[in-house]
């Protein structure tokens, strides 16, 4: 399996950093994208890294926020064959509260009817290699950084969030932001214990530019002690302060930035 980070908040080399996330993954059966980032950055970086997005056959959008699916319309114009898997509830209104303002951070609802989209209502087994699942375990961590994220009727419950499990020689779990809680997601993985987990932990609030409290960082670090056998490549909404704290406690927690390529 080969994983290329196309969009992330930080970058190395000639690629562009932007607030968002997108991974290109080559497996035995698929050429897939996990998330699309917020804008045209995914296409610009793909060109620089030699990734042909027209060859992608599968797209997974982790949840209904623009920084993970904002480039969907442009992708569908470029690639007319790939199936795009997304939770139906991802197209409901989503907002970020900044001071007294409520800012729309959702996806373009007009795209719901596009023939390439596969709208899901929970878990989905795509084939023997790819499985999508939502969190089935109550979040015991409850990141403080979720407090500013809203749905139409109140606090976001993140029913629109899904995760990808790729089953190969090394089973790999992809999360977007783990709004549902990284611990809850790890406990919800179907059937296997992944060798690698890639994605954000959502312990940084970009609207407030603030990391969660020290007590929350300690709680998460203590809980991750039960997963020392998993390699974590975190990014995006984890933030530098949160990453530094977790990496100091756990050598198996590493950072993956835009332009990074992994072979597993």
pLDDT of residue 207: 84
Among residues 233, 238, 261, the alpha carbon closest in space to that of 9 is found at 238
pLDDT, tens digit (0-9, with 9 covering 90-100), for 76-98: 999 999 999 999 999 999 999 98
Among residues 214, 105, 201, 79, the alpha carbon closest in space to that of 160 is found at 105
**Model pTM greater than 0.95?**
yes
Does 99 have pLDDT greater than 90?
no
| Lookup result for tokens 């790999």 | 172
pLDDT band per the 50, 70, 90 thresholds, residue 258: very high
What mean pLDDT is predicted for residues 32-43? 98
pLDDT, tens digit (0-9, with 9 covering 90-100), for 111-156: 999 999 999 999 999 999 999 999 999 998 889 999 999 999 899 9
Structure tokens, 162: 């899904």
Q: pLDDT over 70 for what percent of the chain?
A: 100
Does 203 have pLDDT greater than 90?
yes
Q: How many CB atoms lie within 10 A of CB 208?
A: 15
Contacts with 170 (C-beta within 8 Å, 6 or more apart), sequence order: 1, 195, 196, 264
Q: Which domains does the chain have, with CATH numbers?
A: 2-263 (3.60.15.10)
Among residues 48, 65, 54, the alpha carbon closest in space to that of 6 is found at 48
Does 241 have pLDDT greater than 90?
yes
pLDDT of residue 100: 81
- Please indicate whether residue 169 or residue 110 has the higher confidence score (pLDDT): 110
Sheet with 172-174, strands from edge to edge, namely 124-125, 130-133, 163-166, 172-174, 196-198, 231-234, 253-255
| Lookup result for tokens 């060859």 | 55
The residues pairing with 205 across neighbouring beta strands, listed in sequence order, are 210
pLDDT of residue 184: 97
pLDDT of residue 110: 97
pLDDT of residue 129: 97
């Amino acid at each position: 399996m080969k994983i290329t980070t196309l969009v992330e908040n930080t970058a190395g080399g000639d690629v562009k950093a932007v607030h968002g996330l997108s991974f290109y993954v080559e497996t035995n059966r698929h050429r897939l994208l996990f998330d699309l980032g917020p804008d045209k950055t995914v296409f610009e970086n793909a060109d620089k890294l030699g990734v042909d997005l027209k060859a992608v056959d599968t797209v997974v959008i982790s949840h209904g926020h623009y920084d993970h699916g904002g480039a969907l319309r442009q992708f569908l114009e470029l690639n007319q064959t790939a199936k795009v898997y997304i939770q139906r509830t991802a197209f409901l209104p989503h907002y970020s509260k900044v001071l007294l303002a409520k800012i729309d951070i959702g996806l373009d609802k007009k795209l719901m009817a596009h023939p390439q989209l596969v709208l899901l209502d929970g878990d989905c087994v795509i084939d023997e290699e790819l499985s999508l699942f939502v969190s089935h375990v109550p979040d015991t961590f409850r990141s403080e950084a979720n407090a500013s994220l809203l749905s139409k009727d109140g606090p976001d419950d993140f029913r629109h969030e899904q995760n990808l499990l790729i089953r190969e020689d090394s089973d790999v779990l992809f999360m977007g932001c783990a709004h549902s809680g990284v611990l809850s997601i790890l406990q919800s993985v179907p059937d296997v214990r992944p060798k690698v987990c890639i994605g954000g932990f959502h312990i940084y609030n970009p609207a407030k530019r603030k990391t969660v409290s020290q007590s929350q960082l300690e709680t998460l670090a203590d809980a991750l002690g039960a997963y020392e056998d998993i390699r974590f490549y975190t990014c995006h909404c984890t933030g530098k302060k949160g990453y530094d704290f977790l990496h100091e406690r756990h050598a198996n927690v590493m950072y993956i930035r835009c332009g990074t390529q992994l072979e597993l």
